[in-house]
Amino acid sequence: MDFDTARVRLINHLASEINDQRVLAAMSRVPRHLFIPPELAHLAYDDVPLPIGQNQTISQPYIVALMTEKLELTPDKKVLELGTGSGYQTAILAELSRQVVTTERIPELLQKAKITLDQLGYKNIEMHLAEESLGWKAGAPYDAIIATAGAPKVPDSLIAQLTFEGRMVIPVGARYDQELHLIIRHRKDNEVINLGGCRFVSLIGKEAWAD
């Protein structure tokens, strides 16, 4: 299969809805087919989520692009990611920021993602096995936080790990059906913007769902 041609076709499709050219350029550089099971490689550049094992998924490319765009990343920013998964979203973040700290609760997925990201040569990614408490407090504060799993509410502990004027994108709602929220932390009242419906796996831990 001609992955390069398929990737260009996907980026052209995303460009009709995603305005940040840096996000589109980053996605054009990252080989999504390396982050999914080989038997699904022919679907790598379709705009659909795909299973990656352990009852987890790699998000739809449009959702990856939208969430990344809303973070407004620049090369000086430090980002926290909850839910490494396949490592694909991690790679996109690494293309656009100074440092990515990412956590994953499933050891097998974390190890597999680390192998792929190392093979691709990323040096600005710090990977951790997730703790029961959400995020990674030792690395705080973060300029941006992205959660690739849904929570029943916006966790206060994550807000506390965000810089003032920092941005967080997180699915919030029921266990299998959520709304994507953008939260901008201010010194007084935080700004919350609803980006529309979405469907993610569950975020597990304190202030989220039980395993």
* Residue of 145, 7, 151 whose CA lies nearest to 72: 145
User: What b-and-e string marks burial along 85-108, b requiring 16 or more CB atoms within 10 Å of the CB?
Assistant: bbbbbbbbbbbbbebbbbbbbbee
| Catalytic residue (choose from 16, 28, 59, 202) | 59
Strand-pair partners of 125: 100
* Residue of 100, 105, 190, 113 whose CA lies nearest to 149: 105
User: What b-and-e string marks burial along 38-53, b requiring 16 or more CB atoms within 10 Å of the CB?
Assistant: eeebeebbbeebbebe
Query: What backbone torsions phi and psi does residue 118 show, to the nearest 5 degrees?
Result: -65, -40
Residue 86 annotated as catalytic: no
Residues with catalytic function: 59
